[in-house]
Amino acid sequence: MTINDLWFLADRAAQSAEKAYHHLIEDYGEPLEFTRTKTVDRLRFRTLAERISRSGAPYGSHTIVYRPTGKLLLVRHEGVDMWVLPGGQLDGEESFYDAARRELAEEAGIDVTYDGLATLTRVEVTYENYRTWGVIPVFAARANTVEPDVCDPDGEISRARWFSELPDDTRDREDLLAWRAHAF
């Protein structure tokens, strides 16, 4: 793909994101919404735009797992060296919901009851004059079990833990705190 083809890829990705956004709102109602902007290099832009073209999402689907006490489950992602929500890319024609459930099982092994869509983040991706966007759906789920069991086939997740106070090195920390304030 030449750099001039990036415009077409970005446009295709934005169309896929628009479709995914509307399907999620139609299926789950209106969650808390956030917007983030990522400025990336050409290679990363292409990678993210290709992912968005396939599913509408640059980073897959995730789950906020909570306990009635307000504690949240986070997993340690060694690749980014941060605490993150369990989640990841969709496999093939998998739905966002199915991907979130599968990733949670792999990364934390917690039995949950899903409540629906908690947050929906619009990620605007830019490289020089090229722009596109994608969605990050995050589902909410109440924990039925509390002992995590990490079985990550990718080896990226080293542990899972419950937190009353989120660590400073939590990815999307402010979004999680906003959701928790809204939910509890």
Residues near 34 by beta carbon (within 8 Å), at least 6 away in sequence? 119, 120, 121, 122, 175, 178
The 10s digit of each residue's pLDDT in 55-100 is 999 999 999 999 999 999 999 999 999 999 999 999 989 999 999 9
Both tokens of 91, joined, read 């496999």
Structure pTM? Answer: 0.94
Complete domains list, the chain, with CATH: 5-183 (3.90.79.10)
Comparing CA positions, the residue from 164, 159, 139, 162 lying closest to residue 149 is 159
CB 89 within 8 A of CB 172: no
Q: How far is CA 183 from the centre of its chain?
A: 18
The 10s digit of each residue's pLDDT in 105-148 is 999 999 999 999 999 999 999 999 999 999 999 999 999 999 99
